Amino acid sequence: MKLERKEFIKGIIKENPTFVLALGLCPTLAVSTAMSNGLGMGIAATFVLLGSNIFISLIKNIVPDRIRIPCYIVVIATFVTITELFMKAYSPALNRALGIYVPLIVVNCMVLGRAEAYASKSSVKNSIMDALGMGLGFTLALLLISGIREILGLGTFFGYKIIKSYEPMFIFALPSGALLVIGLLMSLFGLLKNKKT
């Protein structure tokens, strides 16, 4: 039980997929304009990660080594398609907001990276824990980035206005603001890590 807890917790800070491993940055930056989008993307990616991790750790002994990457990609793409159809049916507004970044979860390096580096070598139980931890780390990172960008750039929190008289700095809602926020957050993480060791 202790080991599983460790697998779960490592994804949140120590091996945070966004800030430490620098995986899956494209969707992180693109959809983090508002917190609701960030949350939606986080949940979608977590679902795909969970599904693909379980499936890949189940088939890891059947798949020949040389064609494993295409096999993994097909598995991931299947789960992405499920997510996309689900989102279209139950939350069309979110689907419109996330746009092409939903199908692009397929090429999110985080999902393939975990499949290759972790799920293809570990038991199903550990893979589930790993997927949940990584997914949570990814979602938290997305919420952090989109929170900063939404509060500074639009002056709202999950769509609710916080301070009436605040004049938003719109640059944070634009692409360059996203790059700036992630650059600064990454250096902050680096600073904290250096302090610890």
Partner 1 sequence: MSIGQFLSIFISAVFVYNVILSRFLGLCSFVAISKETKPALAMSLAVMFVTTMSSIITWFIYRFLLIPFNITYLRTIAFILVIASFVQLVEMIIKKISPPLYRFFGIYLPLITVNCAVLGVAVLNIDMFFVNGKAIEGSFYYSVFQGICVGLGYTIAMLLMSGIRERLDFCSVPKCVKEFPLAFIIASIMSMSFMGFNGFKF
Q: Would you tell me which residues interact with partner 1 (CB under 8 A)?
A: 22-23, 25-27, 29-30, 69-70, 73-74, 77-78, 80-81, 84-85, 99-100, 103-104, 106-109, 112, 171, 174-180, 182-184, 186-188, 190-191, 194
Centre a 10 Å sphere on the Cβ of residue 157 and count the other Cβ atoms it contains. 13
For the chain, the distance separating the N- and C-terminal CA atoms, rounded to the nearest angstrom, is 27
Q: How far is the CB of 115 from partner 1 (least distance, A)?
A: 11
State the minimum distance, in angstroms, from the CB of residue 76 to partner 1. Answer: 8
Beta carbon of residue 1, minimum distance to partner 1 (angstroms, whole number): 35
Rank residues 78 and 91 by Cβ distance to partner 1 and give the closer one.
78
Closest approach, Cβ 118 to partner 1, in A, equals 17
Residue closer to partner 1, measured from CB, 61 or 176: 176
DSSP-derived secondary structure for 74-140: HHHHHHHHHHHHHHHHH-HHHHHHHGGGTGGGGG-HHHHHHIIIIITTS-HHHHHHHHHHHHHHHHH
User: Whose Cβ is closer to partner 1: residue 29's or residue 129's?
Assistant: 29
Could you identify the residue written with the tokens 């919420």? 143
Q: Dihedral of CA 79/80/81/85: which sign?
A: positive
